[in-house]
Amino acid sequence: MNNMGPYDEIRKKFNWKISEDELDYKEGDDINIGWYCSDRICNQGKADKDALIWQGFSGEVKKYTFNDSRIITNTIASFLQKTGVESGDRVCLFMDKIPELYFGFLGILKMGGIAQPLFSAFGGESLITRLEDAETKAIITQKKHLGKVRKIRDELPGLEYIIVVDHDGNKPLKEREIAFSMENSEKVEEYRVFRSKAETPSVLHYTSGTTGQPKGAQHVHYSLISQYISSKYVLDLKEDDIYWCTADPGWVTGTSYGIIGPWSNGITQCVLDSGFKAENWYRFIEKQKITVWYSAPTAIRALMKEGKSEVEKFDLSSLRHLCSVGEPLNAEAVLWSTETYGLTFHDTFWQTETGSMVITNYPGMEIKPGSMGKPFPGIEATVLDLKNHEPIEKRGVVGLIALKPGWPSMFRAYWNNEKTYNSKFINGWYVCGDRASIDEDGYYWFVGRDDDVINTGGHLVGPFEIESALLEHESVAESAVVGKPDPVNMEVVKAFISLKPGVEASDMLELEIMNFIRKKLSPLAMPQDVEFVDSLPKTRSGKIMRRMLRAKEWGEDIGDTSTLEDD
């Protein structure tokens, strides 16, 4: 029996109070995610239960109980406070998937700070953009990434504290840098957790859009209500489960369902801090006896490439439930997982802004391979007409996915960007920016993005940010960036570039440009294909027609070209 029971029944009777009651929360109470994910679980008699089983790439394993988590997060919170971080300050987490990242996240929340996790592969420019916008006061990082932080620190006068979690003392730290050792610091048994309320800001996750720089989606502690119950219903987490979420907490999945969801449910979770290799992943599942696995289509397709023979080398019989997130899970991958693992990957749809799953497939509900599933109980969803933005009643017609605002984990603002935040709401609906249709049975079918944002490997990349960075390369005169199809990552970045006069196109220049973006922004933003062109298609008003270039890459109709500039 799954936790949720029959979908139609729970959908009729569900309200968010069910989750509030299970968490013993009443309106007006204190609600601190850090406390709920550690102290509360200890108070339930699970202090000695494993909270985190962590494995590094060399095979080293570390285990932490919920009581360890409680004390470590107390220690981190206390350290931050003594250092000078105050409630409401933004504290960036810039680390690989090491234990300090997970406990650091809760420690920040416990002392009332706003956690700002950033993907550790981000380059200098990506870091500056996000830290400057958030006016981040402290960054917690590791030696491996300290070089990147040092390169940009002078441009960030507001960044007062650079906390290094693995300083070995071999080289002296510089001004503003502080060493902190999670393992060796004096343990703080008792800590007065910050008395956050439902609407107290908790997490700031940056996400990319078509225009402008990335925006910080700001969440609040009340998001717990959605994240707890969706983990229970969709991931179907149960007391004895060993759960593995493969996402990096630099992205929203890694915090909502890689920290908050499982730990607020008191579930043991595993983390593998290693690059992707099918054999290592399967060995990890076998060794840790993973029961519930939440991964991404890109990873699933990469596993498909390795074939069934790789699977047969391992005992994966511990697995009982599989879910996927990031981009639409193609029907072929769904069918492959059923055939190969004897279990079907359940696709889940949500975004940085939604904070938790909103349209998804459920254990026990019939899965239509390739479908996004149905709205989560408590979420009112629809598709809006592309022109008049009214809900489409007719089935099978493509429109914009839209949600009625009001679910607990909905973002409350884009940091410092009220105008863009307001633009996401039309006719009383939050518009996700994706297109889909709804079939006769109420299942949603993803069609594509409604804008130029590129979804590569489950991560959104903004073309504007890449084009702006490309212009800083000495050889580039103009560029246009689009997504091109990719069998594993769904899309990868392709750049069309016109060079400055006198510059010759070459393979070396292409590689140089790729590396330039990789280091400046991130590996995700790096063009995997560069096409040198004499000129870019533009409207008569001079705007580059990305739409045309993208359509060409996808073999689609180019559409209306009446506004195209004459040659």
Partner 1 sequence: MSDTKDVILDYIKEEYLDDEDMELDFSSPLITGGIVDSFSMVSLKRFLETKYKIQIPDAKATPEAFDSVDNIIVLLKEFNVE
Alpha-carbon gap, residue 345 to 238, rounded angstroms: 18
Confirm or reject binding of residue 121 to partner 1 (CB under 8 A).
yes
Confirm or reject binding of residue 531 to partner 1 (CB under 8 A).
no
Confirm or reject binding of residue 174 to partner 1 (CB under 8 A).
no
CB-neighbour burial class of residue 158 (10 A; exposed 0-12, middle 13-18, buried 19+): exposed
Confirm or reject binding of residue 274 to partner 1 (CB under 8 A).
yes
Among 62, 143, 320, 538, binds partner 1 (CB under 8 A): 143
Helix (H) or strand (E) run with residue 444 in it: strand 444-449
Is there a contact between 127 and 112 (Cβ–Cβ < 8 Å)? no
CB neighbourhood size of 406 (10 A):
11
Which of the stretches 79-87, 137-145, 373-381, 426-434 binds partner 1 when contact is defined by CB under 8 A? 137-145
Number of residues that bind partner 1 (CB under 8 A): 35
Which of the stretches 75-83, 193-201, 270-278, 339-347 binds partner 1 when contact is defined by CB under 8 A? 270-278
Shortest distance (Å) from residue 172 CB to partner 1: 13
Among 15, 24, 170, 388, binds partner 1 (CB under 8 A): 170
Confirm or reject binding of residue 462 to partner 1 (CB under 8 A).
no
Tell me the residue type at 470: L
Among 26, 43, 44, 144, binds partner 1 (CB under 8 A): 144
Which of the stretches 189-197, 214-222, 274-282, 374-382 binds partner 1 when contact is defined by CB under 8 A? 274-282
Confirm or reject binding of residue 425 to partner 1 (CB under 8 A).
no
Shortest distance (Å) from residue 134 CB to partner 1: 22
Which of the stretches 62-70, 268-276, 330-338, 339-347 binds partner 1 when contact is defined by CB under 8 A? 268-276
497-516 footprint of partner 1 as x/- string (CB under 8 A): ----------xx-xx--xx-
Confirm or reject binding of residue 147 to partner 1 (CB under 8 A).
yes
Comparing CA positions, the residue from 203, 249, 250, 253 lying closest to residue 230 is 253
CB neighbourhood size of 56 (10 A):
16
Torsion on CA atoms 15, 16, 17, 23, rounded to nearest 10: 140
Comparing CA positions, the residue from 143, 97, 206, 277 lying closest to residue 522 is 206
Alpha-carbon gap, residue 497 to 518, rounded angstroms: 16
Comparing CA positions, the residue from 386, 405, 420 lying closest to residue 207 is 420
- 34-63 residues in contact with partner 1 (CB under 8 A) are 57-58
Among 22, 30, 50, 273, binds partner 1 (CB under 8 A): 273
Name the phi and psi angles at 531, rounded to 5. -115, 120
Comparing CA positions, the residue from 253, 251, 214, 218 lying closest to residue 462 is 214
Shortest distance (Å) from residue 272 CB to partner 1: 10
Helix (H) or strand (E) run with residue 395 in it: none
Assigned token pair, 102:
């997970």
Torsion on CA atoms 464, 252, 159, 120, rounded to nearest 10: -80
Is there a contact between 455 and 485 (Cβ–Cβ < 8 Å)? no
322-351 footprint of partner 1 as x/- string (CB under 8 A): ------------------------------
Q: Closer to partner 1 at the Cβ: 132 or 306?
A: 306
- SS3 of the chain: helix, strand, coil, percent, to 5: 30, 25, 45
Shortest distance (Å) from residue 507 CB to partner 1: 5
Shortest distance (Å) from residue 240 CB to partner 1: 30
Residues that bind partner 1 in the complex, under the rule CB under 8 A? 57-58, 96, 121, 143-148, 170-171, 273-280, 302, 456-457, 507-508, 510-511, 514-515, 518-519, 523-524, 526, 528
